[in-house]
Structure formats: structure tokens, C-alpha cells
Amino acid sequence: PTNFFNEKYRPQYHFTPMKNWMNDPNGMVYFQGEYHLFYQYHPESTVWGPMHWGHAVSSDMIHWEHLPIALFPDEIGFIFSGSVVVDPCDSTGFFNGGEGLVAIFTHAGEHPVTRKPRQVQSLAYSKDKGRTWTKYEGNPVLEEPAIADFRDPKVIWYEEERKWIMVLAAGNHVRFYSSNDMKSWDFESAFGKTEGSHQGVWECPDLFSLPIDGVHRWVLIVSIGDDPAYHEGSRTQYFVGDFNGKTFMNDNDPDVVLWLDFGRDNYAGVTWSDVPKEDGRRLFIGWMSNWKYANHVPTSTWRSAMTLPRSLSLTSTSEGTRLVQKPVHEVSVLREPVTSIKRTITLVPDENLLKDIKSKTFELKASFTIKEAAVFGLKVHQSNEEETIIGFNSQRSVLYVDRRKSGDLGFHDAFSCVQEMAVLEKEHVSLHIFVDKSSVEVFVNEGKQVLTSLIFPKEESDGIELFLDQGVVDLHSLDVFNYHSIWTK
């Protein structure tokens, strides 16, 4: 069908709401064969407003079915970000001894007596696979009247002590609470007042452990909001360390800042709860926008998309333990092979090996060896007037995405920019790139570094160029897969 999710800029294989405003992913949980994705949603318009939880389900995190709104604002307040867990043994008493889903979210409203703004934590539960929700009559379940920014609870099951742990953002730090029934919470500890980046208010934390070299380390994700003083806008950092059910201990010096993504457009991301042990993956999705300009991006009937779902793991580097992100293997169901080069070719300036390929929605994988200091890479969404450059400068050891000519830039001063990240490995470089109608996601060297960026090119800009500006570079392999829309089959 034409005109079905086919508006200008509408992503073809990234999750978007059918219409109107979306921000953070919320309450991602796997339950009885379904991946749930809830999200901050304003059903009345294409800008942020009274928050609801929108809802979608998928069996593969790629094809989504839109479902009715799950949670509506009420007398306690708007429904801000939060999480969902499976309560398998009815610790809450909501399920008559059976199992069900529990949502833990922030109610943002006013104190009933003083009328001062406040953020408190509340519960809702579902006995029908997330289709309908009942708010707990004892809401809110957690208040800290002295803390103004107090939100985005992420609840996990801490098996070692068989208790629930909640991590939530409190302005300039995160706080950990524990509970047996999710209805009453005990404060355990605070972390972060003097650690990591404070270039914005702390939001949307997540906490999980991952295996590395036969042990487990804990990862604490913390998003930091937009602050007018920093042109990068909202970003997401993470910490690696240990968690003992009470406190988080950072492996790194307090001033070390680890960015989850080096692009401008991956915010408020957290991971799925209750992914089966046999699967073993830690699955992540982020909001592909930036509070700096999110309300102004030039889309029409809807605003915002999610990143591709990604699988997280840890790796050891010369600088310490670091996160690795890979697109989930399920994306390969979208692949339609376009070209495949499996021999070594020395790149020649002005000879574009991809000149016959036209696509606006594709995956590209390529690996290179740099023989002499080089500047090379790919130009996507290319036409006479437009291009988005995904380049590698081996002398500076920098991968960059230049969106200064990527299309519509006029909606906000901060949008036009070059985004850069340092790449440790500079002799062998592999690029794994996902291009949609209004985004590029670049995974470098098997996901050791990632850069996610919005772009707003014209429909006509569908060229792809493999370019060499300087130096000597061998291409070893290259694959391009065209992607179809997930909304039509």
C-alpha cells in the first residue's frame, strides 16, 4: 500500500509511533514469546506534553505491532519513564499466586497539599500479557520529598539475595533501593555525585551484569539531559564496576567518562528485562533523538524513532573494560543482497565502486586495511547537493559522521555538525552501517565504537559513494543489503 508509513523522512525499519510524539523507550520486557516496547508518548500532538505509555509488541524486535496506549496520566500525575518486570512468584500479591507483569514508573505531578511539583514512583500491573493495566491503589510507593528530580526507576531481580533492586535518577546521582514486594522500598546507597559526566541532569539509569573473562562485571547506564551550556545536548554514559546488592563500586577513576554512543542521537536507552537465560543476550534500545532539538525535527505526522535494537557485551581494551554494541542478528531478516565483493581491491580516488547502487534504506558491511595514512569512507543519501559522510581519518584515528550537508538543517542551530569518535585500532577498520530514511548508525570494529545520527535528506538523495581522499587503502570485503519497510510485506 502506498502512503502507509511512507511520509517524507519516515524510517522504514526503525520503530516509530503511528502518529504524534514519542521519547524514551520504557518498560521493555520479554514475556511469553513477546518483546514489549512501551514508550513516552503524547497522543495529542507532535511535541512533548502530558506523558502516557505507548505500547507495541514484537516477536523479533524488528517487526512491531502497535497496541493501544497502556498507561494514561491520572490524578497523581503524568506517566514518566520506568520499567516492567515479570513477577514470576507473585511477590507483589497482584496475581493470586500466579505470574504477571509489573510496571514501575514515575508519576510526575503536584503534591496534593502543597501543590509543589513532585516526582514519585508508582506501580501498575497486568494479568493479560500487558494488554490492560491496573494501577496499584497504594500509589505512590516511593517518595523522597527533598529531591526534585527523582525519576525513571529501573527494577531488576537481584538473585544473590533474592530481592528486587531499583535504581533511579536523582538529579546529580543515582540511588539504589531494595524490596521484597515492590510496594515498600528501603534505601541502600547513592552513587555518582562526583563520578562521570555532570553536563546535564541524570536520567534513565539501568543496571545489569555481563560476563567477561570468566567473571561478571556490572554496568550502570546513566543518561544526561540537555544543558544549554553544552552543544552536544543529551547523551548517555555508562560505568563499569561491581554491585553487591547495596552499593555500586566504579572500576574507573571518578573523572573517567565512558560514552555509550558518540553520535548525537541515542538517548535514554535501557535494556530488556527477563530475556530467557538460554538466549543470554542483554538487549538494548535507545531513543534516536536529542533533547536539544527533538521537538523541532522536520517530520510531519509523527516525531522520533528508536535506534535499532542492539546486543550489549563487554570487551577488554588497553584502557579497561568497555561496552560493545552490535545490532541484533534478527535484523538480517530484512536483507536483500545487492552487491558482495569478496576480494582485495586497492581503492582509487574518484572511482566509486558503488556508483550503480541507489538506496535510502540499507545495511553495508565493509573491512579495510590502511596501508598509508588515509582519509576514506562512505557517502550516503547522496545527490548533487546533499551527502552524509561517514569517514575515517587514520592519521587522527578518528571516525566521523559529517551531517553538515545531509539535508534539512534549518530547524535548529545545533543540528549541523561533524560528530567524531576516537578509534583505537587504526590499521584494520571494519564498518557496519545501517542507513534509514532519516538516520545512520555506524558500528566500528565489531561494535567497539558506535555512532548514531539523525539526518533529513531529500527523497532524491539516494546515491552511495565509497571514497578515498588521501592515502592507500585496501578494501577486503564489502556487502550491501537493501532493506524493505517493516510496515508492508
Binding footprint of ligand FRU on the chain (CB under 6 A): 23-24, 40, 51, 80-81, 106, 151-152, 203-204, 268
Least Å from the CB of residue 148 to ligand FRU:
12
Distances (CA, A) of 479 to 353, 429, 431: 12, 15, 11
Residue closer to ligand FRU (CB basis): 43 or 245: 43
Query: Whole-angstrom distance between the N-terminal and C-terminal Cα of the chain?
Result: 9
Residue closer to ligand FRU (CB basis): 155 or 268: 268
Cβ–Cβ under 8 Å, residues 439 and 288: yes
> Residue 21's closest CA among 1, 49, 2?
49
CA angle 50, 52, 56 (to 5 degrees): 150
Residue closer to ligand FRU (CB basis): 123 or 389: 123
Task: In whole angstroms, give the CA distance from residue 485 to residue 53.
Answer: 25
Least Å from the CB of residue 13 to ligand FRU:
23
Residue closer to ligand FRU (CB basis): 205 or 391: 205
Least Å from the CB of residue 82 to ligand FRU:
8
Least Å from the CB of residue 144 to ligand FRU:
15
Least Å from the CB of residue 430 to ligand FRU:
32
* DSSP collapsed to 3 states, 333-374: HHEEEEEEECCCEECCCCCCCCCCCECCCEEEEEEEEEEEEE
24 is catalytic: yes
Helix, strand, or coil (residue 486): coil
**DSSP label of 307:** P
Catalytic residue from among 24, 261, 402, 436: 24
* Count of positions (residues) in the chain: 489
Say which residue the cell 505531578 belongs to.
109
Residue closer to ligand FRU (CB basis): 23 or 461: 23
Residue closer to ligand FRU (CB basis): 73 or 245: 73
Task: In whole angstroms, give the CA distance from residue 113 to residue 384.
Answer: 62
Peptide bond just before 43 cis, omega within 30 deg:
no
Residue closer to ligand FRU (CB basis): 106 or 266: 106
Helix, strand, or coil (residue 188): strand
Task: In whole angstroms, give the CA distance from residue 485 to residue 14.
Answer: 9
Least Å from the CB of residue 125 to ligand FRU:
20
Distances (CA, A) of 456 to 45, 313, 459: 21, 31, 9
Task: In whole angstroms, give the CA distance from residue 111 to residue 232.
Answer: 34
Q: Per the structure block, which three cell numbers stand in for 188? A: 541502600
Least Å from the CB of residue 287 to ligand FRU:
7
Q: Which residues are catalytic?
A: 24
